[in-house]
Amino acid sequence: MSDSFEDIIPMLRRFAYSLTGSQADADDLVQTTFEKILSKGVPDGVETVKWAFKVCRNVWIDEYRSRKVRQNATQSPELQEQVEPDQHHQHESQELLGQVNAAMDTLPNEQRSILSLVALQGMSYKDVAATMDIPVGTVMSKLSRARSALLNMVKPRLIEESR
């Protein structure tokens, strides 16, 4: 192995957080990823980092639908916490982050994964293509679509709030 698991964990946690939007869910995703890697091993001739990202992404895709069901259940009005007016200003930055996370959640899984690997992990297009088993041109195309979609979803909210 070219990289130890200790070296991979911080990168994988950031990637998992970008997918889940929750530190607790990200930690669970990383744990499940390493459980799978340790039980099945890393194939010969495969870089450990790329394999870890691939396994993490696949685990996320497997769990994504059940996570959305749980999220939708918690959106019931009777389960919502009431925010007092003085707390409103304190949570503005959290709301913006929530809006970005919500916008990220609406992106197709592959676009969200590519955007996360490039923007948050700083991976090259070539490395993302190898990690996801897709051509570099596909990475560039899906990244462009993801960035445009994210901007179109967040920009109107920012303009509205600035008024």
Q: Are residues 52 and 100 in the same domain?
A: no
Boundary (domain end) residue, out of 48, 80, 112:
80
Q: What is the pTM of this model?
A: 0.55
Query: Does residue 50 surpass a pLDDT of 80?
Result: yes
Q: Which pLDDT score is estimated for 142? A: 92
Confidence of residue 1 (pLDDT cuts 50, 70, 90): very low
- Which H or E element spans position 132? helix 125-132
Residue 135 sits in which domain range? Answer: 84-163
Q: How do residues 60-117 score in pLDDT, each as one tens digit?
A: 888 776 656 666 666 655 555 555 555 655 566 677 677 777 888 888 888 888 988 8
Q: What's the number of domains the chain is made of?
A: 2
How does DSSP assign 82-124, residue by residue?
PPPHHHHHHTHHHHHHHHHHHHHHHS-HHHHHHHIIIIIT---
Task: Transcribe 2-51 into DSSP letters.
Answer: -S-HHHHHHHHHHHHHHHHS-HHHHHHHHHHHHHHHHHH-PPTTS-HHHH
- Kindly list the distances between the CA atom of residue 87 and the CA atoms of 74, 92, 102, 105, 160, in Å, as whole numbers in the listed order: 21, 9, 21, 25, 20
pLDDT tens track for 135-158? 999 999 999 998 888 888 877 766
Region 25-42 average pLDDT: 91
| Confidence (pLDDT) at 85 | 52
Sequence letter at residue 55: V
Residue with tokens 């990202």: 53
CATH number at residue 27: 1.10.1740
Residue 44, C-beta contacts closer than 8 angstroms, at least 6 positions apart: none
- As given in the structure block, the two tokens for residue 155 are 């920009």
Q: How confident is the model at residue 119 (pLDDT cuts 50, 70, 90)?
A: confident
Residues 155 and 90 in one domain: yes
CA angle 32, 106, 11 (to 5 degrees): 40
Domain with residue 155: its CATH number is: 1.10.10.10
